Structure 1
Amino acid sequence: MTVGAPGLARLSHATRLLHWAVALGVVGMLGYGFWLQTLPGGAGKTGSVQLHKSFGMLVFATALARLLWRLREGFPPAGGHRPFERAAARALHVFLIAATLAMPLTGIGRSLAYARPVSMFGWPVIPKLFAEKQETLYAVCAGIHDWLALALAAAIGLHAAAALKHHLVDRDDTLRRMLPSGGGR
């Protein structure tokens, strides 16, 4: 079914559901992660970090499902957008997908390098791999995880701004076809 401008087909229910599930999960995890950085270290922070890790595993599973779905469906057609917009959108989408997978992977690496197992809501997922903290591996994983948090937050802001530009300035259906209702004009 075409929505508004020719070439902008409504995206499948699964595509929209996975997009919004990952989006809400990642934004929530980023906000919670930034808040965690403000807490003093110690036993009082441990439960909050474990909750972050558990939800991070859920977001990872959802992001992985989204990647598999995207590989199955491919990138949606860009419609009548200019070539530089298509190239920028493709680059941004590839970064968003890669970062939503790299964030939890570096978080897992960070936990394992700290000589801890990875569990999800108390259920073991990955056993402890090291007897003691691996300082270099921990520093690399932590650095990438923290940098990706900032880069991902900026990319999400750019993605949202581009969607609003298409909706409010270009008045095309780029945003509308991704909304849960997905209705036409």
Structure 2
Amino acid sequence: MNVPKPGEKIQIHSYKHNGHIHRIWEETTILKGTQQLVIGANDRTLVTESDGRTWVTREPAICYFDMDYWFNVIGMIREDGVYYYCNVSSPFVFEDGAIKYIDYDLDIKVFPDMTYVLLDEDEYENHRQEMNYPPIIDPILKKNLGYLKEMIHQRKGPFASDFIDNWYERFLMYRD
């Protein structure tokens, strides 16, 4: 598998299970890229929704993709602390200058005090039926939701106390 190189600017493409594009982040700077793990960062990047609407992110964010897990994590750096948005998703692929994954609707929002809330359970159930998710997908996603919750509770991986700060410092070295 081709891997993105540190300093390289790439896009992030989120798809739905039916193959349709869900969302595109226009520019993310790679901080670490291996076949196993990609860490990137962006700040005020253009995001295009599937219906063509666009918006710009409001704060710096560190993006974490690991091939071992069916989720990815975005740590958003705000004045009152780091908020995390965790997408339950397929493992990523890197092709055509973009990180690509399938978004499976379920999300966890984590607050600076490490409390969290599970989001979009209704959307998941609707899409599971509409897009005819294979039966094997549900147990995989639920197991990975468990891994994600463990990482949050144990403050491991992207939830470790200095993870976001350290990667943000590296991101600042690449900024113009």
TM superposition score normalised by structure 1: 0.27
Which of the pair is proportionally richer in strand? 2
Structure (1/2) with the larger helix percentage: 1
TM-score (norm 2): 0.28
**Larger RCO of the pair (alpha carbons < 8 Å, separation 6+):** 1
Which of these two proteins has the greater Rg computed from alpha carbons? 1
